[in-house]
A and B are shown apart, each in its own frame.
Chain A
Amino acid sequence: MRRFSFLGLLIMVLAVLAVACGGGASTTAFTPPSDPIGVIKIGPKDPIRIASALVISGADANLGTDSQRGVELAIADRKAIKGHSIQLQAEDDGCSSEGGQAAGTKLAANPQIVGVVGTSCSSAARAAAPLITKAGKVMVSPSNTAPSLTAPDRSADFAGYLRTAHNDKVQGAVAAKFAREQLKVSKVATIHDGSPYAEQLQAVFAAEFKKLGGQITAQEAVAPTDTDMRPVLTKIAAGKPDLIYYPIFVAAGGHVTTQARKTSGLEQVKLMSADGTFAVDFLKAASDAAVGVYHSSPDFSAFAGGYADFKAKHKAKYGEDPVSAFHAHAYDAAMIMFKAIEKVGVEGPDKSLYIPQKALRDALFATKDHQGLTGKINCDKNGDCADPKIAVYQNSADNVKQAKVPDTPIWKPY
Chain B
Amino acid sequence: MTGRPATSLAAIRRWSARINVADLLMWIVGGAILIFIVAGSIATLRLGIYSFRQWVDFIVFGLAQGGVYALIALGYTMVYGTLRMINFAHGEVFMSGAYTAYFLAFTLAQNGWIERYPVISLAMIFAVSMGTSALVAVLVERIAYRPLRNAPRLVALITAIGASFFLQYAFRGLYGSGFKAYPRMSFLEGSWSLGDFRILHLQVVVIVAAALMMAVLYLFIQKTKTGKAIRAVSEDKAAAALMGISVDRMIVITFVIGGLAAGFAGVLFALMFKQVHFFMGFIPGIKAFTAAVLGGIGNIPGAMIGGAFLGIFESLGPILFLDGFGIKAPYQLKDAIAFAMLVLVLIFRPTGVLGERLVQKKA
**Is there a contact between chains A and B in the complex with CB atoms less than 8 Å apart?**
yes
Measuring CB to CB, which residues of chain A are less than 8 angstroms from any residue of chain B? 57-59, 61-62, 65, 194, 219-223, 225, 227-228, 230-232, 234-235, 237-238, 250-251, 254-255, 258, 262, 264, 281, 284-288, 319-320, 323
Interface stretch (choices B47-55, B74-82, B119-127): B47-55
Query: Are A254 and B274 also in contact (CB < 8 A) when A62-B179, A264-B57 are?
Result: yes
- Residues of chain B contacted by A251 (CB below 8 angstroms): 179, 275, 277
Q: How far is the CA of A238 from the CA of B277 in the complex (A)?
A: 33
* Residues of A close to B68: CB separation below 8 A: 227
Chain A proximity of B212: nearest CB distance (Å): 21
Nearest to B269 among chain A residues (CB) is A227
Closest 3 CB pairs of A and B: A284-B181, A323-B178, A221-B332
- Contact A231–B316 (Cβ < 8 Å): yes
Q: Chain B residue with minimal CB distance to A236?
A: B331
B184 near A: Cβ within 8 Å?
A: yes
B335 within 8 A of A: yes
- The contact of A228 among B64, B176, B335, by CB within 8 Å, is B64
Chain B residues with Cβ below 8 Å from A228 are 61, 64-65, 314-315
B177 touches A234 (CB 8 A): no
State A137–B178 Cα separation when bound (angstroms): 32
B176, closest chain A residue (CB): A320
Chain A's nearest CB lies how many Å from the CB of B247? 37
Instruction: Tell whether, in the assembled complex, residue B177 and residue A65 are in contact, meaning their CB atoms are under 8 Å apart.
Output: yes
Inside 8 A of A62's CB, which chain B residues have their CB?
177-179
CB <8 Å contact, B329 and A219: yes
Enumerate chain B residues within 8 angstroms of A61, measured Cβ to Cβ: 172, 177, 279
Partner of B331, one of A221, A284, A285: A221
- A216 smallest CB distance to B (angstroms): 12
Known contacts A222-B332, A225-B283; decide if A231 and B319 are in contact (CB<8 Å).
yes
CA distance A234 to B334 in the complex (A): 15
Distance in angstroms from B203 CB to nearest chain A CB is 10
Query: Taking each of B178, B198, B316, which has the highest tally of chain A beta carbons within 10 Å of its own beta carbon?
Result: B178
Given contacts A223-B335, A234-B54, A255-B273, contact A285 B279 (CB under 8 A): no
In angstroms, how far is the closest chain A Cβ from the Cβ of B269? 8
Contact B57 A230 (CB under 8 A): yes
Nearest CB of chain A from residue B241's CB, rounded to whole Å: 42
B113 interface hit (Cβ, 8 Å)? no
Kindly report which residue of chain B lies nearest to residue A288, judged by CB atoms.
B184
User: What size tier do the contact residues of chain B reach?
Assistant: 35 or more
User: Cβ of B328: which chain A residues have Cβ within 8 Å of it?
Assistant: 219
Task: Give the residues in chain B near A258, CB-CB below 8 Å.
Answer: 274
What's the Cα separation between A251 and B180 when bound, in Å? 10
CA of A194 to CA of B169 in the docked complex: distance in angstroms? 25
Cβ contacts under 8 Å, B332 to chain A: 194, 220-223
A228 to B307, CA, bound (A): 14
| A320-B181 in contact given A231-B314, A258-B274, A287-B274 (Cβ < 8 Å) | no
Measured in the bound complex, the distance between the Cα atoms of B175 and A65 in whole Å is 13
Q: Chain B's nearest CB lies how many Å from the CB of A398?
A: 16
Known: A59-B279, A61-B172, A222-B332. Is A227-B273 also a contact (CB below 8 A)? yes
B318 within 8 A of A: yes
Contacts of B53 in A (CB 8 A): 264
B179 engages A285 (CB within 8 Å): yes
> How far does the alpha carbon of A234 sit from the alpha carbon of B335 in the complex, in Å?
18
Most B CB within 10 A of own CB, among A57, A251, A323: A251
Q: Is B141 an interface residue (CB 8 A)?
A: no
Q: Report if B103 contacts A (CB, 8 A).
A: no
A161 to B181, CA, bound (A): 37
Interface-central residue, B61, B180, B329, B335, by most chain A CB under 10 Å = B329
Contact of A262 among B54, B191, B273, B330 (CB under 8 A): B191
Query: A323's contact among B50, B64, B176, by CB below 8 Å, is which?
Result: B176
State the CA gap A220–B334 with chains docked (Å): 12
**Interface mask (B155-177 → A, CB under 8 Å = 1, otherwise 0):** 00000000000000100100011
Contact of A238 among B49, B178, B191 (CB under 8 A): B49
Query: What are 21 A-to-B residue pairs whose CB atoms are below 8 Å?
Result: A62-B177, A62-B178, A219-B328, A219-B329, A227-B68, A227-B272, A228-B65, A230-B61, A231-B314, A231-B331, A231-B334, A235-B319, A238-B49, A250-B275, A264-B53, A281-B178, A286-B274, A287-B181, A319-B176, A320-B178, A323-B177
**B92 within 8 Å of A by Cβ?**
no
Picked from B61, B181, B330, B331, the residue with its CB within 8 Å of the CB of A281 is B181
**CB atoms of A285 and B275 under 8 A apart:** yes
Cα-based distance from A228 to B65 in the complex (angstroms): 7
Cβ of B57 and Cβ of A234 under 8 Å apart? yes
Q: A59-B282, A254-B274, A258-B274 are in contact. List 16 more A-B contacts (CB 8 A).
A: A61-B279, A62-B177, A65-B177, A194-B332, A222-B331, A227-B65, A228-B64, A228-B65, A235-B330, A238-B49, A254-B275, A264-B53, A281-B275, A285-B274, A288-B184, A320-B176
Q: How far is the CA of A61 from the CA of B181 in the complex (A)?
A: 17
Q: Is the CB of A220 within 8 A of B331?
A: yes
List, in ascending order, chain B residues with CB within 8 A of A255's CB.
Answer: 273
The verdict on B218 contacting chain A, using a C-beta distance below 8 Å, is no
- Does B325 sit within 8 A of A, measured CB to CB? no
In the complex, whether B200 has a CB less than 8 A from a CB of chain A is yes
Cβ 8 A contact of B179, one of A221, A232, A281: A281
Task: Give CA–CA (A228, B64) in the complex, Å.
Answer: 9
Type the 1/0 row for B64-95, where 1 means its CB is closer than 8 Å to any CB of A. Answer: 11001000000000000000000000000000
Residues from chain B with a CB closer than 8 A to the CB of A264 are 53-54, 57, 198
Which of B61, B179, B200, B334 meets A250, CB within 8 Å?
A: B179
| CB neighbours of A285 from chain B (8 A) | 179, 181, 274-275
B351 CB to nearest A CB, Å? 28
Q: Mark B182-213, 1 if CB is under 8 A from A, else 0.
A: 00100000010000001010000000000000
**Proximity bits, B328-343, A CB within 8 Å = 1, else 0:** 1111101100000000
Interface centre among A57, A58, A232, A288 (most CB of B within 10 A): A232
What CA separation (Å) do A244 and B328 show in the bound complex?
A: 17
CA gap between A323 and B181 in the complex, in Å: 13
Using known A-B contacts A225-B283, A262-B191, A262-B200, determine if residue A238 contacts B50 with beta carbons closer than 8 Å: yes
Query: Could you tell me the distance in whole angstroms from the C-beta of B150 to the nearest C-beta in chain A?
Result: 34
Task: Give min CB distance, B156 to chain A, whole Å.
Answer: 25
Contact A234 B181 (CB under 8 A): no
A363 to B104, CA, bound (A): 51
Query: What chain A residues lie within 8 Å of B331 (beta carbons)?
Result: 220-222, 231-232, 235
